[in-house]
Amino acid sequence: MMLYDTIIKRQQEMSLSNGELAKRAGVSLPTVTKIHKGEDITMANLREICGPLNLILTTVDRSVIAKQEIEVLDAKIYELMEKLDALEKEKDALEAFIK
């Protein structure tokens, strides 16, 4: 999920109109509209918009990623690691059975 998608999803979850989000963030309505159109906005405006949505920005390898996205990726990594552990246990059990 892209950063703008995360912002829009959170905005919808909070039932905020573009105008209300702009007001809470202290930015112009056209700035919020740019997010919905996928257009570039300044980092300063991006930070302002994320504030009322309780989103925190962090930079990773020069890319801006919402903290929520990092948590989702971490959860997926954890899930895959658990699956890998289970497969390794099955493999060990099969190898023991074959011997």
Q: Which two tokens stand for residue 11?
A: 């905005």
The 3-state DSSP class for residue 97 equals helix
Q: What is the CATH number of the domain that holds 8?
A: 1.10.260.40
Q: Which helix (H) or strand (E) holds 25?
A: helix 18-25
Which string of DSSP letters, residue by residue, matches 44-75? HHHHHHHTTTT--EEEETTEEEEHHHHHHHHH
Q: Show the domain range for 45.
A: 3-98
The model's confidence at residue 82, banded by pLDDT at 50, 70 and 90, is very high
Instruction: Give me the number of domains the chain comprises.
Output: 1
Task: Please report the pLDDT score of residue 13 as a whole number.
Answer: 93
Q: Which residues of 43-52 are buried (b: 16+ CB within 10 A; e: fewer)?
A: eebbebbbeb
Smallest CA-to-CA distance from 32 within 43, 45, 44 is with: 45
Is residue 1 pLDDT above 50, yes or no? Answer: no
pTM, full prediction? 0.59
Each residue's pLDDT tens digit, 9-46: 999 999 999 999 999 999 999 999 999 999 999 989 99
